[in-house]
Amino acid sequence: MKRLYFLAASLMLLLATPSVQAQKKTTPSKTQYAREALTPYVDSGQLPGAISIFYKDGVQETCCIGYADAAAKRRINLDNAFMQCSQTKGFCGVTIAKLVEEGRISLDDPVSKYLPEFQELWVLEQKDDSTKVLHKAKNTLTIRMVMNHTGGFPFEISAKRNDVRGGGWSGGAPIRQVASIAAASPVMFEPGTRVLYSNTGIDIGAAIVEVVTGMKWEQYLKQTVLDPLGMKSSWFWPTDKQIKNKIELYDYQKDAPAQWREEMPSQQRPYNDSHVFASAGAGLWTTAADQLKFYKMLLNLGVGDNGVRILKEETVKSILAQSTRPEGMEGYSLGLNAPAKDNEDAWFGHGGAWGTQCSVNWHKKQLRLWVVQKAGGPEPWKKDLDKAAEKFFSKYYDTSGVDAYTGRTQ
């Protein structure tokens, strides 16, 4: 009986534990392509500091160059917190993909199935320069549409626009309230017929997650994505210590040192008090170390570098790594830029308003990550960084001596 009890208990523990798979170790490339490309711009002050990561099938070049705070001479590193802005959309995409995978929703479900206030939508049609008319929407708004920016919603609802104190991406309103306001407002065109980039649509997707799971979207994200991947430094309310050591914002200047910017109008301080609400469209603070864990999970088709599986391989391939839009509307999947048709040279990922960017190619096991906090201005180093990436990805790396390891669950 004791033996049977032990076997039953072991089985229950196994079923409750996220699946763990063998992952290839990451080894340093011993190259400095990015550092060589960026050093002249850092030395001149045009680029206060940046983080660049190139990764290719187990080999990684990591470049942390310059300062998180140039005035204080505080060096930039992988653990400095920063606002990733629209890169948050991909995190919402993963939560939607999980519910699709589990059979709890379908991308072509009407949004009104979960949020009844969307049962009747109105379209604001521009007849000419001076005339606008309202008419009932003919097309059914679906989850697919709100997640790939074809729903017709404005960038932000009125409660989150820049002229409202606390507005912008990390303030504004609770996710369910955002959805309700959006439902009571007209859309800009018939759903599914055009593209209009929209934080609002992604927040509507997050509101559906809340209805289906019975949890706050951010808590569901933490439970199913952030915690399993070990992303302990990513959250919508950075700690005071993180804020003190964050990567500072700078206005880039042409042929002159960058100028420090205290804050952006759409993201006003303080960053972690009661006026801040979680936003799936653009609200997650993170670090380069944490961001790398998320994008490597996508690169590995659903498996984190710690070996924990977040999504099935086919889920990533079918609704994250390639477009979910109708043909002819450019590529975009669920909160991620993705190719219209998948091929071995196809990359998918997302950027953020302050200049951050990460993309992966799962076919070739390649990744590019870039972190700055840019308030505006030119980027003269971009062409040199692209050349550095070409050198890294074209170089042959012998990984025959790299052994696999079994990742640990949290």
Q: In the predicted model, is pLDDT for residue 405 greater than 80?
A: no
Q: In the predicted model, is pLDDT for residue 164 greater than 50?
A: no
Give residue 11's pLDDT.
43
Q: In the predicted model, is pLDDT for residue 384 greater than 50?
A: yes
Q: In the predicted model, is pLDDT for residue 352 greater than 60?
A: yes
Element housing 10 (H / E)? helix 2-16
Residue 409 inside a domain? The answer is: no
- Average pLDDT along the chain: 90
The whole-angstrom separation of Cα 53 and Cα 385 is 11
Whether pTM > 0.85 for this model: the answer is yes
Residue 295 inside a domain? The answer is: yes
3-state helix, strand, coil in the chain (%, to 5): 30, 20, 45
Q: How many residues does the chain have?
A: 410
Residue 161: pLDDT band (50, 70, 90) is: low
Q: Which of 62 and 8 is assigned the larger pLDDT?
A: 62
- Phi first, then psi, for residue 93 (nearest 5°) are -60, -40
Residue 12 inside a domain? The answer is: no
Answer whether 291's CB lies under 8 Å from 87's CB: yes
Number of domains in the chain: 1
Residue 15 inside a domain? The answer is: no
The whole-angstrom separation of Cα 186 and Cα 18 is 42
User: Which residue segment(s) compose the domain that 193 sits in?
Assistant: 21-398
Residue 156 inside a domain? The answer is: yes
Nearest to 211 by CA among 88, 96, 121: 96
Give residue 127's pLDDT.
76
Chain centroid, CA 3 distance in Å: 47
Give residue 252's pLDDT.
97
Residue 21: pLDDT band (50, 70, 90) is: low
**Residue 405 corresponds to which tokens in the numbers above?**
């390891």
Answer whether 192's CB lies under 8 Å from 326's CB: yes
Chain centroid, CA 329 distance in Å: 21
Q: Which of 23 and 50 is assigned the larger pLDDT?
A: 50
The whole-angstrom separation of Cα 165 and Cα 171 is 8
CB atoms within 10 A of CB 341: 9
Give residue 8's pLDDT.
45
Q: In the predicted model, is pLDDT for residue 170 greater than 60?
A: no
Residue 404 inside a domain? The answer is: no
Mean pLDDT lowest for which of 149-163, 320-334, 356-370? Answer: 149-163
Residue 168: pLDDT band (50, 70, 90) is: very low
Answer whether 62's CB lies under 8 Å from 27's CB: no
User: What CATH number corresponds to the domain at position 27?
Assistant: 3.40.710.10
Strand partners, 110: 142
Residue 309 inside a domain? The answer is: yes
Helices and strands: H and E segment counts in the chain: 12, 16
Answer whether 200's CB lies under 8 Å from 153's CB: yes
Give residue 20's pLDDT.
64
The whole-angstrom separation of Cα 293 and Cα 230 is 8
Amino acid at 355: G
Residue 30 inside a domain? The answer is: yes
Give residue 406's pLDDT.
38
CB atoms within 10 A of CB 132: 10
Give residue 371's pLDDT.
98
Helix/strand/coil for 154? coil
pLDDT tens for 287-325 read 999 999 999 999 999 999 999 999 999 999 999 999 999
Chain centroid, CA 348 distance in Å: 11
